Amino acid sequence: MKRSRIAVYPGTFDPVTYGHIDIIKRAARIYDKVVVAVAHNEDKNPLFSVEERVSMLKDSVRPLKNVIVDDFDGLVVDYVKSKGSRVMIRGLRMISDFESEFQMALTNRKLSEDIETIFMMPNESYSYISSKLMKEAAKLGADVKNFIPKKVQVLLKNKLT
């Protein structure tokens, strides 16, 4: 019996960007199933509710048949296990991401040795995009159409006005 290869891509996704979508698409080519897991993480003071973030992601990944979107609260390693996975995907944009991602990966390894963190880099055209930067740019009136999906642009504009 062939074992299904499942990867979990956790994040806040506040809001989802083309960089996130690029990572999801590439992970979906490698794994049989990709679970995009929206973290509740109220410590980050998200602009969008969990439900809004889940909805944005579902809309953005609809064409990808082996991708599902879910949300979670609590330890990510516990969530990964609950999905029958041993792989967590994390995106690395720039070298500045590496230190915090490395620290998080090592901590997660100590919490659960059987969960592996796989780092993926987005296409270089998305390597500088962050959700935080998109919120700041949109708030200042910038056109963010090259960075986030159309429906997300509308939601972001409505949220900020």
Q: List the alpha helices (DSSP H) in 4-129.
A: 18-30, 50-61, 76-82, 95-111
SS3 content of the chain, % helix, strand, coil (to 5): 45, 20, 35
Task: Name the catalytic one among 33, 53, 90, 93.
Answer: 93
Active site residue 93: yes
Active site residue 96: no
Residue 141 token pair? 């009136």
Task: Name the catalytic one among 33, 53, 60, 131.
Answer: 131
Task: Name the catalytic one among 44, 62, 132, 157.
Answer: 44
Active site residue 20: yes
Task: Name the catalytic one among 20, 53, 90, 135.
Answer: 20
Active site residue 44: yes
- Residue appearing with tokens 């999801």: 24
How far is 25 from 34, CA to CA, in rounded Å? Answer: 9
By annotation, the residues acting in catalysis are: 20, 44, 93, 131
